[in-house]
Amino acid sequence: MKTKLTTVAVALALLTLAACDVDKTSSGDMPSVDVDVSADSGRLPDYDVDWAEVNVGTRTKTVSVPSVVVVMEEMEVDVPYMDVDMPDEDGMKSERTIVVEAEIKNRMQKLQIDKVFAQNRRLVVVSSLTPTSQSLDDKTVRVSDRVVLNAPDLDIQHIIVGQKPQGEWNKQYTFVPNRSALRERLGDAREIYSR
């Protein structure tokens, strides 16, 4: 019985120390067993245990972190306003702001809503994107323009005249290279607003 307890104790000690660096410092002797069930005590081996060393601190590293694309500031400006009455509507209108926005890199560009056309229950908002001489270096900015619309719920399509800038943001708009390509897209739409 004493031998079994000793073996179990050694096994538990070895399992506990499995995650450590263990160096044996002396050899051990197993107990000798006599047939008449008498035993001398024996001796377990001695061990030095070195636990893991943990250092906590900080280091300076150069890493890429997200930065702000554009800083928005609130200011009062004059915004074009359109009040649209549709035939066969019972005066059910709501006011909303129509915004066009483009993400620009390398060279600054001016974005402006020039005209709005109506076709059935759809408005076509036509904007122009014009390069300026200001360099943006390696920065990315968003430029925008807006008009306020008081009208029944209408579908809105944006067409921007100008070269389409690279980037995922700009994929939400239709770009045409010039005014003649714009005329082809508008078909029989009627102009209801011009800046």
End-to-end CA distance of the chain: 101
Q: Degrees (nearest 5) of the Cα angle 41, 43, 49? A: 145
The pLDDT score that the predictor gives to residue 21 is 58
How large is the average pLDDT for residues 89-110? 85
Write out pLDDT tens, residues 124-159: 999 999 999 999 888 889 998 888 888 878 889 999
Q: What is the pTM of this model?
A: 0.58
With a cut of 60, say whether residue 70 has pLDDT above it: no
Task: Name which residue leads in pLDDT, 108 or 121.
Answer: 108
- Do 84 and 92 meet the contact criterion of CB atoms below 8 Å apart? no
3-state secondary structure 24-52: ECCCCECCCECCCCCECCCECCCEEEECC
Spatial distance between the Cα atoms of 191 and 179, rounded to a whole number of angstroms: 14
Task: Name which residue leads in pLDDT, 86 or 193.
Answer: 193
The tokens for 23 are 């160096």
